[in-house]
Each structure stands twice: as C-alpha cells, then as structure tokens.
Chain A
Amino acid sequence: MTINWFKYASPASFYFLAGRMIPYFTALAIILLVAGLYVGFFVAPTDFQQGEAYRIIFIHVPAAWMSMFLYTVMAFWAGVGLAFNTRLSSMVASAIAPTGAMFAFLALWTGAWWGKPMWGTWWVWDARLTSELILFFLYIGFMSLQAAIDDPKRADKAGAIIALVGVVNVPIIYFSVQWWNTLHQGASVSMIQSPKMATAMLSGMLIMTLAAWMYSIVVILIRTRLIILERERHTAWVSELREGVLE
C-alpha cells in the first residue's frame, strides 16, 4: 500500500479538499434537480388513478430513500471513527445526521400531503410511514445524545455506539412494523405500484434521488468543514486561515 490514506484523513487537508469539491457537487445537484423536476412535471404522464397528486412521489420517495441510506452511511463513518480513532470520520458522521433527519422529516411531511388526497387523511399507520417515523426518532436520538455531551471525544464515541445499535435495529424494526401492519390492516394501500409504473415516473424518481444525493454531499461537506473549524480553532492552521495566510 503506497497510497497515503491518512493524508486526506487529516482534518486540515480534508478541509481544503472539501472546499474544492463543493462547487462541482453543487453544479451536479442543480443540474440533476432541474432535470428531475422537468421529467417529474412535464414528461411523466398523469396517473390514471391518482391524477396529478401522485407527483409528490418525486420528492417523497427520494427523501425516504436518502433518509435510510444516510443513516447507514452515518453509522458506517461513526463506526470507522470508533474502531480506528479517526476524528474526521466521526465529524462526517455528525455532519450527516441533520441532513438525514431532514430527509426523514421531509418524507413524513410529503407523505402526509400525499395521504390527504389519496386516503382522505393526513396520517395512516402505513408500514412505510411508521418505519420512517421511527427512523426519524433514531436520528433525533443520535443528535440529542451528541448535543448533551460537552467533550467532543466522548460525543463522537457515544454517538457511534448508538448509531451502530440503531443500524442493527433498523432491519428488525422495519420487519416488525411490516408484520404488525399486515396483521392490523390486511393488504394496506401501497404507495408505489412498482410493476405498472411508467418508465418516465421511475426515471424521474431516480434522477431526483441522484439530485438529493448530490445535495446531501454538498451540505455534508459544508457542515463537516464547519465542524472542523470549530474543533480545530486552537490549531496553528486555523489561525493562519483566519489571518488570510492560507487560502
């Protein structure tokens, strides 16, 4: 192994690397968002059952997917930070949490907006919505725990444990809720009728998911940079940065 992985694992070099990467990912996010919205609103046909209201899935489904994906990524980096004592990975994990929670909340919110015209009610105890709600609670738990701990080292490690415990539990919770749901409602109204979904709908959803992904990368990089500055504010390189020596 000749590649020096630790070069980019140092917060200082990551700070500058991330700074250079942000504009590219921002551009990608904007392009994908515009493309996704165009496909979603103008290309995808009107659903013969749900009318125009179904178009909220172009936000709802990507948000739900991202919230689950980000939880796994967050637990992964938190676990790396715990196992190898790399500060940067823990900082990335802390930076992911608010975005993941935002997507979980967005999925719940848009789910309610969709539920009202579809089922005539803001909230149904559908298996997906319920799991999403629990996932939202798990994000809140992670963030509250980190917020309650003053010592950053302890906050990183404690957060890692709860994220890992959470990630082990997510499949169990999902399975339990699914099972509970079939028990109580029989075959519930499924949100996505995947087999008969038009290709344009599917591609619109996929493009929007990519847009959400790129957006997440941008905000996570920005937030990681802020966390780095906050934690490293007493180091020489940050004071040089403040005095305008480094750029």
Chain B
Amino acid sequence: MLTARNLECIRGEQKLFSNISFSVNPGELMFIGGPNGSGKTSLLRLLCGLSSPDDGEILWNGADIRELGGDYRGVMTYLGHLGSIKDDLTATENLRISCALTGCEISEEQAVDALERIGLAGRETLPAKVLSQGQRRRVALARLLVTPTKLWILDEPLTALDVAAVELIKGVLEHNLSNGGMIVMTTHQEIVMTATTVRHLTLS
C-alpha cells in the first residue's frame, strides 16, 4: 500500500501544492489531474523517490520510502514522459537495457515477444530514431509487459498513442490491477476502467 501524508512541494519560490494526503491500495488506480504547471509530474517524482517532499512523508506498507531505498525501487516502475529511449539502439536493445537497469533482466526472446504484443512486430531491429512518436512510446510501455513490479507510476503514458494502442494499454493496466497491483498515473485523456477502484486526485 502506498500512502502519502501532508505532502508539500515547493519549486523555486512557488508552492506547487501542500497538504496532499491519499493512499492507494492493491487493485486500485489513481488518476492525477489538473492543469499544466499544477505539479502533476512533481508529485509523481516525489512518489517514486526522485525528489524529496518539502514537508510530509511517503510510506510504502508503512515504512518511509527514503529508508526503504533500493527495496522500494525494486517493487516500483516509473515511466517518465521522456521515455528513456535511445535513438541509436534498436527497439529490442532499448527494451532489454531499460529492463536490466530496473533490475529485471530479460532474454532476447522475451523482449521480441513483448514488442510483438504491443504492436511492434517486424520493427524489433530498427533503430529507435526511425520510429514514430507513437511507436517510441510503445517501446517504452513494453516494459510494463515484462516487469514483475506491483506499483506503477506513469507520467502521461497515453500521449501520442492511437486508439488501438490505448485499448491495449488499458488491458495491460487492468491486468496489473487484477493481480493486486497499484497504479498512479497522470493523463489528459481519461480511460474508463472496468471492475476496479478508481480514485481521482485533482491538483489546482
């Protein structure tokens, strides 16, 4: 269970938000909404431990994520809006390396299989620089198909995706939730999830 208590975030001299509290239980999804500049990405970066809150605390199963350190990072997957795709590497290499970095090494076959499932069949060996925005996004999202982690923190995962891909990702998210996973995500295009608890947090 991920719990946030009285979070406050100050960027430069501007207070982005304060007094934010929530918890996300297994099987739950939380959408974070709000206009541009309201601190959605900053909140996600706090939740995954990339930056520390100016006040408040973030707990994973009751323990502070700062103290858990690597133990927390091992159960969590964060996908930023940058996607961490290398132009010079092929889709397969990108997927295998980004998985290895986050602590789950996968074989060539697993990577090819995941890329096929996400609709990139036949493009596995192309360098990422020749892929379109949507296809690069799919390479980044393919990690969700192979990662064993329960907690997913996703920053605008649906950007640049077509309708078919959005449906596909929706299935992937629902699959994680039905297995007791937890998802915190920001998005501008809300998707309707079936048979799961969905929470909303709107930053102003």
**Partner-B contacts on A (CB < 8 A):** 150-151, 234
Q: Measured between C-beta atoms, what is the minimum distance from B180 to chain A in Å?
A: 36
Please, how many angstroms separate the alpha-carbon atoms of A151 and B9 in the complex?
14
Interface contact B13-A150, CB-CB below 8 Å: no
Q: Which chain A residues border B12 with CB–CB below 8 Å?
A: 150-151
- A contacts with B: majority SS: loop
Q: Which chain B residues border A150 with CB–CB below 8 Å?
A: 12
Q: Which chain B residues border A234 with CB–CB below 8 Å?
A: 13
Q: Can you give 3 A-B contacts (C-beta < 8 A)?
A: A150-B12, A151-B12, A234-B13
Instruction: Map CB proximity to A onto B1-21 as digits: 1 under 8 Å, 0 otherwise.
Output: 000000000001100000000
Q: Measured between C-beta atoms, what is the minimum distance from A148 to chain B in Å?
A: 15
Q: Measured between C-beta atoms, what is the minimum distance from B67 to chain A in Å?
A: 16
Q: Measured between C-beta atoms, what is the minimum distance from B159 to chain A in Å?
A: 27
Q: Which chain B residues border A151 with CB–CB below 8 Å?
A: 12
**Partner-A contacts on B (CB < 8 A):** 12-13
**B15 to A, closest residue via Cβ:** A234
Q: Measured between C-beta atoms, what is the minimum distance from A218 to chain B in Å?
A: 30
Please, how many angstroms separate the alpha-carbon atoms of A150 and B12 in the complex?
8
**B12 to A, closest residue via Cβ:** A151
Q: Measured between C-beta atoms, what is the minimum distance from B130 to chain A in Å?
A: 36
**A234 to B, closest residue via Cβ:** B13
Q: Which chain A residues border B13 with CB–CB below 8 Å?
A: 234
**A151 to B, closest residue via Cβ:** B12
Q: Measured between C-beta atoms, what is the minimum distance from B197 to chain A in Å?
A: 37
**A85 to B, closest residue via Cβ:** B52
Q: Measured between C-beta atoms, what is the minimum distance from A17 to chain B in Å?
A: 26
**B11 to A, closest residue via Cβ:** A151
Please, how many angstroms separate the alpha-carbon atoms of A244 and B12 in the complex?
27
**A233 to B, closest residue via Cβ:** B13
Please, how many angstroms separate the alpha-carbon atoms of A112 and B141 in the complex?
64
Please, how many angstroms separate the alpha-carbon atoms of A150 and B13 in the complex?
11
Q: Measured between C-beta atoms, what is the minimum distance from B45 to chain A in Å?
A: 14
Please, how many angstroms separate the alpha-carbon atoms of A72 and B156 in the complex?
47
Please, how many angstroms separate the alpha-carbon atoms of A151 and B13 in the complex?
9
Please, how many angstroms separate the alpha-carbon atoms of A235 and B32 in the complex?
30
Q: Measured between C-beta atoms, what is the minimum distance from B44 to chain A in Å?
A: 19
Please, how many angstroms separate the alpha-carbon atoms of A150 and B14 in the complex?
13
**A152 to B, closest residue via Cβ:** B12
Q: Measured between C-beta atoms, what is the minimum distance from A81 to chain B in Å?
A: 15
Please, how many angstroms separate the alpha-carbon atoms of A234 and B15 in the complex?
12
**A150 to B, closest residue via Cβ:** B12
Please, how many angstroms separate the alpha-carbon atoms of A150 and B11 in the complex?
11
Please, how many angstroms separate the alpha-carbon atoms of A151 and B10 in the complex?
11
**B54 to A, closest residue via Cβ:** A153
Q: Measured between C-beta atoms, what is the minimum distance from B143 to chain A in Å?
A: 29
Please, how many angstroms separate the alpha-carbon atoms of A151 and B42 in the complex?
15
Q: Measured between C-beta atoms, what is the minimum distance from A82 to chain B in Å?
A: 14
Q: Measured between C-beta atoms, what is the minimum distance from B41 to chain A in Å?
A: 16
**B10 to A, closest residue via Cβ:** A153
Q: Measured between C-beta atoms, what is the minimum distance from A178 to chain B in Å?
A: 43
Q: Measured between C-beta atoms, what is the minimum distance from A154 to chain B in Å?
A: 10
The 3 closest A-B pairs by CB, nearest first: A234-B13, A151-B12, A150-B12
Please, how many angstroms separate the alpha-carbon atoms of A204 and B126 in the complex?
76
Please, how many angstroms separate the alpha-carbon atoms of A151 and B12 in the complex?
6
